[in-house]
């Protein structure tokens, strides 16, 4: 039986899946687990990119991840706190005066320190890969489609901006050509700034035409008063924020019970979610093609949760699985349960549609001009 | 005080507390988790603010203007993407904030960074903080324009300072990730405000001066050459919009002179 | 249906657009609004759905109501289900990125159920022949397609009234035909009330029920049936002009009626075409040899050969996207050809320094406003004088010679389209270039302005310039061009004397040409002159 999946996965499912992977990456320092998580995220991201996916999102996030690793290692080498271990090489020591915070530079660089720094960087790197995968799988454009209708104005503002950028680039080109026709300089600062004001003026005029078109098509028709986020809702939302923040701060006080902090946090988040979702009920605006959180989306979400659950269970069985410490100078532990969790993450491939063959190729600017003008 | 302003202030407060956490944290207990929680809270709070603004009867003209100016800003950021880069977008935020007021400047800063994320690689964990920092920059421009003369020099000074401020904010966000917890430049959990502040300043100086200074310089230069005519153009548009009928002008919660 | 009750509209109290207007537009009527450029057609249209005064400003006295709903009580957003307003620039009105989403936008705002929205979108896609484009990003559509999407975007709400502001002004004749055919379908098959403003009355006369002409002198609107319209020459199409000059009893509205009415004249004029001598120009100001140009994978020009001589006007015709603008860009030195040679005044334009280049070729682009930077006309002229090293006041003098009545203190953006074109032309003419090129100069110009432009260009030609005009306006080409070159898909498909090229087929010639086909008459003036000549001869 061939499984052809046609139903689009809800963007939230992909982002939650990626969040599971990212959160697991952040709490583990086991390099093998990290590599596994990174591979899972990258593979699924590459193979299931959505049509509107930001091209090269994965690539650029990977670059940033590598850069973070590099910075961490560099900092460790130059500024690291020295702990005993297998010394690889030594840098000349330098103690900065007290006005420079008494920072000490240099000193012996141990292998353990380097590995620890690299691992710390990789944690972030893998989390970033997960972010990159999320962007490729459910791009920001897709996320706009699931914004609640109470945020319709935000969605319109973003749409308008996205639609305008190519027009802007065309307008800049027109301006540049006009300057050439007048025999004026186009390069350098003076050329640049002389083009800027007319382009902005053009945008302002477009803004007038655009807003007239929006209003003529009913923007704001549902009536401001009925849309208003009622005061109780707003208070609920704000208190939710306050509670969650307080809970986060309380985490730093071990004298207070952890349960208190956690319950504050959970309550806070719940309140915020309620406001964001519930605030849309009174809005009269509807959605043309609503995205449903269907069975496949649930399957993807469960695969992500499976990764987290699997690794946490493995941690409880094999202690120190996730929290590997390079200073112990032992091989990191792995278990078959880890492996199974990774496979669980990869299973998202089964439930998601292939990148459609009908994907729109974005034409370069010249081709817009050729076809449109 | 108007409701959106209040919500905006609270959201900003949350953002500040998320950023300052490393400075004041005692480092004990489960303090490691806190930054991640805060990082999740900030975008949620921004969504809440957006909901409040959406339903506070933004009029069509302000919204269209927001969108288009955000597009201009995003276009300015395209050649220089990334967490660190020479970004000539800030002078535009200052100009818009100066003409249309703090509320508009705040919204424009946030929206510009959000839209540019679509073009420069996507939504990353830095985005909510970039949005907040740019929003503060725009709002500050509005307040600056109220109390100070918008002359070339003053605009350039504000822009330069604001860009350095933006750089410092983003660096503060990056500090725990970049320096970790085991270097002499990292934040010391439980080390108290002054020690950590000291360390942060050194960290800032060593890492981002290479980006912050050129950025501040470029934006200040741009605003001193283009700022005045641009402000005049925007003011002319604003005046014509205000004249366009009582409903259009009054309904706008964002546009204030 | 639409009732204007003693309405006066003005932006500036001293110069109202209309005064005390009372008008009723009936259900299912197609009402065309005409008037010279800048007379306020847009303003009047925007008053129908309340954009004026609530959104666009201005002072409105009296009341405007649609189907009983008055614009005084409700803002424009409340009219979205009653009035579909389509502004002048479709691109500037798009809110979303794809065709389908744009069509659905109005219904989302009005809170329609998703199933209704799906149904309506399908209906409108079929009605306007857009189903092949449904998933396309809006930025990849041609102008004609965008215009249809903009119309569709308001139609999905099923409004009984459709208001269109110059729907075909930016389109080439083919695209304009498609849009007008769609509008005609809406009027005749669906009974929608349509109010539209249009310069090119010859296109809309066949479908109009009534025509209202704005007379700015006394701020009045005179309404008449298409057949009885004794139009101001500023707004009358060639066929009407012909009928007027030949004193026909009934004014024909279509070419078919024109052929029936002109039987006598056609018989008289058979074979009486004045012979034409093809003059060979003394020297060539511009030459393009076997030139190719591509943008990425798109071939804009494939092996084009063209030359323009001193003292001749060459018309460059072709659909949008055929390569006209690319060719002009090559001649103006804005681009380099991928292969082949371009020379202006004997040199390659891209190799010339700026000063030299503007002394060799002056191009007025499609949007002439991009050439204008100053805040007053005066400033523009004086800065042009400085830049080109001319004596102070030369440019403004030149401007006065080209067109009278332009206020020196006016902001260039406040001028009419025709005035801005002439200002741009004056600026470009300052350094006295050998080759003058114009890209679609007739967009937005009324007949009067076009006639004036023709006179200006003829005068320049007589002074020895070589002129190249890229346009799809056949009437202008017939009036002034000595030679015509037709481009399609980047290649030259026809070239020669204007009369020969235009009269090749009945669809490519002027309105007069269509009436007199197969005789190759092109303009009203030459027909009238020939008839007079014949009739006064013994």
Total length of chain B: 257
A192-228 pLDDT, tens digit per residue, is 777 888 888 888 888 888 988 998 998 877 654 455 5
Output DSSP code: residue B37. Answer: H
Between CA A293 and CA A303 the distance in angstroms is 15
Q: Give chain B positions within 8 Å (CB) of A199.
A: 72
**Residues in C touching A204 (Cβ below 8 Å):** none
pLDDT in tens, B154-197: 999 999 999 999 999 998 888 877 777 777 777 676 666 777 77
pLDDT tens per residue, range C87-140: 888 888 898 888 999 999 999 989 899 999 999 999 999 999 898 998 888 888
Between chains, do A364 and C101 touch, taking CB under 8 Å as contact? no
Q: What's the pLDDT tens digit per position in A241-291? A: 888 888 888 777 767 777 788 888 888 888 888 888 777 766 778 888 888
Q: Is B3 on the interface with A (CB under 8 A)?
A: yes
Lowest mean pLDDT among A41-45, B106-110, B125-129, B238-242: B238-242
Residues 6+ apart with CB under 8 A from A249: B17, B21, B34
What pLDDT, on a 0 to 100 scale, did the predictor assign at position A14? 93
**pLDDT at residue C104 in the model:** 94
Chain C residue with Cα closest to B229? C375
**What is the mean pLDDT of the segment spanning C470-483?**
89
Rounded Cα gap, residues C524 and C288, in angstroms: 34
Q: Does C56 touch chain B (CB under 8 A)?
A: yes
| Cα–Cα dist C7/A130, whole Å | 63
Two structure tokens written together for C55: 């959104």
pLDDT digits (tens, 9 = 90+) for C454-470: 888 998 888 888 999 99
Q: Which residues contact C5 (CB under 8 A, 6 or more apart)?
A: C22, C62, C63, C64, C65
Alpha-carbon gap: B113 to the closest alpha carbon of chain C (Å): 19
Q: What is the mean pLDDT of residues B5-32?
A: 78
Answer whether A150 sits within 8 Å of B55, measured CB to CB: yes
Chain C residue with minimum CA distance to A199: C370
For residue C9, what are its two tokens? Answer: 């509209």
CA distance B162 to B164: 5
Report the C-alpha gap between C170 and C148 in whole angstroms.
13
Q: What is the pLDDT of residues B33-51, one digit of tens each?
A: 677 778 888 988 898 888 8
Check residue B254 and give its pLDDT.
Answer: 31
DSSP state of C430: T
**pLDDT at A3 > cutoff 80:** no
Confidence class for position B244, pLDDT limits 50, 70, 90: very low
Among all residues of chain C, which has the CA nearest to that of B64? C95
Report the residue of chain B nearest C50, measured CA to CA. B245
Alpha-carbon gap: B144 to the closest alpha carbon of chain A (Å): 22
For C232, left (φ over 0), alpha (ψ -120 to 50), or beta? beta
**Alpha-carbon span A273 to A265, nearest angstrom:** 12
Query: Which of A181, A290, A372 is opposite residue C114, by nearest beta carbon?
Result: A290
Return the partners of chain B (3 or more C-beta pairs < 8 Å).
A, C
Of A163, A220, A284, the CB nearest to C94: A163
ipTM above 0.90, yes or no: no
Q: Do A367 and C370 touch (CB under 8 A)?
A: no
Phi then psi dihedrals of residue C159, to 5 deg: -75, 145
The number of C-beta contacts closer than 8 angstroms across A and C is 192
Check residue B94 and give its pLDDT.
94
Q: Say which range, A2-11, A81-90, B28-37, has the weakest mean pLDDT.
A: B28-37
A285 touches chain C (CB under 8 A): yes
The H or E element spanning position B4 is helix B3-24
Residue B69 to residue A203, Cβ atoms within 8 A: yes
Q: Which two tokens stand for residue C501?
A: 């090229």
Helix (H, G, I), strand (E, B) or coil at B148: coil
Contacts of A281 in chain C (CB under 8 A): none
Interface of B with A in 165-184 (CB under 8 A): 177-180, 182-184
**Between A141, A212, A366, which is nearest C87 by CB?**
A212
Nearest CA of chain C to the CA of B244: how many Å? Answer: 4
Cis peptide bond N-terminal to C53, omega within 30: yes
Q: Residue C522 belongs to what H/E stretch?
A: none
With beta carbons under 8 A apart, name residues in chain C contacting A167: 91, 139
**Cβ separation C92–A210 shorter than 8 A:** yes
Residues on chain B touching C55 (C-beta within 8 angstroms) = 60-61, 244-245, 248
Task: Average the pLDDT over each of A100-109, C148-157, C278-287, C308-317 and give the range with the smallest value.
Answer: A100-109
Cα-to-chain-centroid distance, residue C139: 22
Pairing state between β C298-309 and C483-488: unpaired
The distance from CA A28 to its chain's CA centroid, rounded to whole angstroms, is: 20
Could you tell me which chains touch chain C, where touching means 3 or more CB pairs under 8 A? A, B
**In chain A, whose CA is at the least distance from the CA of B196?**
A101
Q: Which positions in chain B touch C57 (Cβ < 8 Å)?
A: 240, 243-245
pLDDT at B127 over 60: yes
Residue C221 has pLDDT above 50, yes or no: yes
Q: What is chain C's mean pLDDT, rounded?
A: 87
Residue of B117, B119, B121 with shortest CB distance to A61:
B121
| The pLDDT of residue C27 | 92
pLDDT digits (tens, 9 = 90+) for A50-89: 765 555 788 889 998 998 899 888 888 887 777 777 788 7
Q: Is A187 exposed, middle or buried (0-12, 13-18, 19+ CB in 10 A)?
A: exposed
Q: Give chains near A: 3+ CB pairs under 8 A.
A: B, C
Residue A39 has pLDDT above 90, yes or no: yes
CB contact, 8 Å: B68 with chain C?
Answer: no
Residue B124: Cβ within 10 Å count: 21
Residue C290 and residue A148: Cα distance in Å, rounded? 58
Query: In chain C, what residues touch A220 (CB-CB under 8 Å)?
Result: 75, 77
Distance between CA atoms of residues B32 and A252, nearest Å: 8
Size of interface A-B (CB pairs under 8 A): 277
**C53 in contact with chain B, both atoms CB, cutoff 8 A:** yes
Tokens 């690689």 -> residue = B121
Is A79 close to B179, i.e. CB distance below 8 A? yes
Q: Do A204 and B234 touch (CB under 8 A)?
A: yes
Chain centroid offset of residue C527 CA = 25
Mutate to test the interface with A, among C42, C78, C80 (most CBs of A within 10 A): C80
Kindly list the residues from chain B whose CB atom is less than 8 angstroms away from the CB atom of residue C77.
Answer: 60
Q: What is the pLDDT of residue C117?
A: 94
Q: Report CA-CA distances (Å) from B97 to A129, B5, B90, B257.
A: 36, 15, 11, 10
Q: According to the model, what pLDDT value does residue B191 have?
A: 67
User: What pLDDT, on the 0 to 100 scale, is given for residue B72?
Assistant: 92
pLDDT at residue A266 in the model: 85
A358 touches chain C (CB under 8 A): yes
Q: Which residues 52-81 on chain B approach chain A with CB closer than 8 angstroms? A: 52-61, 63-72, 74-75, 81
User: Are C124 and C130 contacting, i.e. CB atoms less than 8 angstroms apart?
Assistant: yes
């Amino acid at each position: 039986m061939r499984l052809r999946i046609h139903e689009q996965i809800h963007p939230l499912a992909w982002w939650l899946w990626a969040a599971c992977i990212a959160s697991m990456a952040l709490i583990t320092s086991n390099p093998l687990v990290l590599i596994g998580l990174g591979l899972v995220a990258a593979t699924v991201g590459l193979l299931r990119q959505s049509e509107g996916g930001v091209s090269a999102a994965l690539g650029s996030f990977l670059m940033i991840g590598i850069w973070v690793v590099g910075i961490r290692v560099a900092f460790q080498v130059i500024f690291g706190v020295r702990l005993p271990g297998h010394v690889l090489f030594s840098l000349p020591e330098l103690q900065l005066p007290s006005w420079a915070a008494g920072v000490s530079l240099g000193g012996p660089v141990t292998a353990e320190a380097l590995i620890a720094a690299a691992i710390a960087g990789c944690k972030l790197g893998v989390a970033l890969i997960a972010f990159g995968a999320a962007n490729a799988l459910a791009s920001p454009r897709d996320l706009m489609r699931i914004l609640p209708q109470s945020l319709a104005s935000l969605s319109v503002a973003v749409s308008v901006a996205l639609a305008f950028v190519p027009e802007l680039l065309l307008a800049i080109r027109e301006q540049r050509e006009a300057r050439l026709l007048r025999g004026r300089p186009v390069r350098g600062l003076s050329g640049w700034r002389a083009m800027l004001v007319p382009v902005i003026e053009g945008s302002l005029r477009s803004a007038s035409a655009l807003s007239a078109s929006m209003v003529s098509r009913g923007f704001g028709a549902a009536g401001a008063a009925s849309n208003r986020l009622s005061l109780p809702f707003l208070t609920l939302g704000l208190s939710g924020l306050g509670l969650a923040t307080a809970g986060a701060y309380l985490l730093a006080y071990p004298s207070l019970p952890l349960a208190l902090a956690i319950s504050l946090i959970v309550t806070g988040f719940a309140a915020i979610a309620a406001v964001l979702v519930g605030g849309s009920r009174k809005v009269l605006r509807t959605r043309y093609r609503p995205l449903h959180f269907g069975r496949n989306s649930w399957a993807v979400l469960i695969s992500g949760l499976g990764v987290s659950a699997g690794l946490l269970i493995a941690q409880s069985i094999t202690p120190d699985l996730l929290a590997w410490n390079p200073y112990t100078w032992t091989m990191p532990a792995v278990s078959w349960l880890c492996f199974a969790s990774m496979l669980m993450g990869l299973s998202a491939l089964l439930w998601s549609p292939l990148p459609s063959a009908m994907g729109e190729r974005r034409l370069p600017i010249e081709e817009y001009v050729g076809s449109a003008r | 005080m108007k409701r959106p302003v209040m919500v905006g202030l609270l959201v900003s407060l949350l953002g500040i507390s998320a950023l300052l956490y490393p400075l004041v944290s005692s480092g004990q207990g489960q303090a490691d988790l806190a930054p991640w929680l805060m990082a999740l809270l900030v975008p949620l709070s921004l969504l809440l603010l957006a909901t409040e603004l959406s339903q506070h009867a933004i009029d069509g003209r302000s919204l269209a203007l927001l969108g288009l100016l955000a597009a201009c800003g995003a276009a300015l950021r395209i050649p220089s993407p990334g967490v660190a880069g020479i970004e000539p977008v800030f002078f535009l935020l200052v100009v818009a904030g100066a003409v249309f007021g703090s509320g508009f400047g705040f919204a424009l800063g946030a929206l510009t960074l959000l839209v540019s994320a679509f073009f420069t690689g996507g939504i990353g964990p830095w985005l909510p903080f970039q949005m907040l920092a740019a929003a503060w920059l725009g709002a500050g421009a509005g307040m600056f324009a109220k109390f100070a003369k918008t002359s070339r020099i003053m605009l350039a000074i504000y822009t330069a300072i604001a860009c350095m401020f933006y750089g410092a904010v983003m660096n503060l966000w990056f500090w725990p990730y970049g320096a970790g917890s085991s270097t002499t430049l990292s934040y010391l959990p439980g080390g108290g405000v002054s020690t950590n502040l000291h360390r942060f300043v050194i960290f800032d100086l060593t890492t981002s001066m290479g980006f912050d200074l050129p950025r501040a310089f470029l934006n200040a230069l741009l605003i001193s050459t283009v700022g005045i005519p641009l402000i005049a153009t925007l003011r002319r548009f604003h005046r014509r919009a205000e004249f366009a009928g009582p409903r259009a002008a009054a309904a706008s919660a964002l546009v204030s002179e | 249906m639409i009732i204007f009750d003693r309405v006066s509209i003005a932006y500036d109290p001293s110069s109202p657009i209309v005064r005390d207007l009372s008008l009723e537009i009936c259900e299912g009527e197609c009402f065309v609004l005409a008037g010279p450029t800048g007379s306020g057609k847009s303003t009047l249209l925007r008053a129908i759905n309340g954009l004026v005064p609530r959104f666009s400003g201005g002072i409105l006295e009296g009341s405007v109501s649609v189907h009983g709903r008055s614009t005084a009580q409700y803002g424009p957003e409340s009219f979205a289900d009653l009035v579909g307003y389509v502004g002048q620039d479709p691109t500037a009105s798009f809110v979303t990125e794809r065709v389908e989403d744009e069509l659905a936008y109005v219904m989302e705002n009005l809170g329609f159920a998703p199933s209704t929205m799906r149904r309506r979108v399908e209906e409108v896609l079929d009605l306007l022949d857009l189903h092949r484009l449904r998933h396309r990003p809006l930025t990849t559509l041609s102008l004609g397609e965008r215009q249809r999407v903009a119309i569709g975007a308001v139609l999905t709400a099923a409004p009984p009234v459709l208001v269109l502001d110059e729907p075909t002004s930016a389109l080439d004749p083919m695209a304009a035909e498609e849009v007008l055919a769609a509008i005609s379908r809406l009027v005749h098959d669906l009974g929608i009330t349509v109010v539209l403003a249009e310069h090119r009355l010859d296109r809309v006369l066949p479908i109009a029920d009534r025509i209202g002409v704005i007379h700015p002198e006394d701020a009045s609107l005179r309404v008449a049936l298409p057949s009885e319209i004794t139009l101001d020459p500023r707004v009358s199409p060639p066929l009407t002009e012909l009928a007027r000059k030949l004193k026909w009893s009934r004014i024909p509205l279509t070419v078919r009626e024109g052929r029936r009415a002109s039987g006598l004249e056609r018989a008289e004029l058979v074979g009486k075409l004045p012979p034409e001598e093809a003059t060979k120009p003394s020297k060539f100001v511009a030459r393009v040899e076997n030139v190719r140009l591509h943008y990425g994978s798109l071939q804009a020009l494939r092996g084009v050969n063209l030359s323009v001589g001193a003292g001749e006007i060459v018309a460059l015709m072709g659909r949008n996207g055929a390569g006209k603008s690319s060719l002009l860009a090559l001649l103006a030195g804005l681009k380099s050809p991928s292969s082949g040679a371009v020379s202006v005044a004997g040199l390659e334009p891209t190799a010339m320094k700026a000063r030299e280049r503007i002394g060799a070729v002056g191009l007025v682009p499609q949007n002439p406003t991009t050439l204008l930077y100053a805040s007053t006309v005066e400033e523009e002229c004086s800065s042009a004088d400085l830049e080109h090293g001319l004596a102070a006041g030369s440019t403004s003098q030149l401007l006065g010679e080209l067109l009278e009545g332009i206020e020196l203190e006016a902001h260039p953006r406040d001028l009419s389209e025709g005035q801005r074109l002439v200002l741009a032309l004056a600026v470009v003419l300052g350094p006295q270039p050998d080759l003058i090129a114009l890209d679609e100069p007739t967009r937005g110009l009324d007949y009067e302005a076009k006639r004036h432009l023709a006179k200006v260009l003829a005068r320049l030609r007589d002074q020895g310039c070589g002129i190249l005009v890229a346009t799809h306006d056949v009437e202008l080409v017939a009036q002034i061009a000595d030679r015509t070159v037709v481009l399609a898909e980047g290649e030259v498909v026809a070239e020669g004397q204007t009369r020969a090229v235009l009269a090749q087929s009945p669809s490519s010639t002027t309105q007069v040409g269509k009436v007199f086909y197969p005789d190759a008459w092109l303009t009203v003036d030459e027909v009238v002159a020939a008839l007079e000549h014949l009739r006064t001869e013994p």
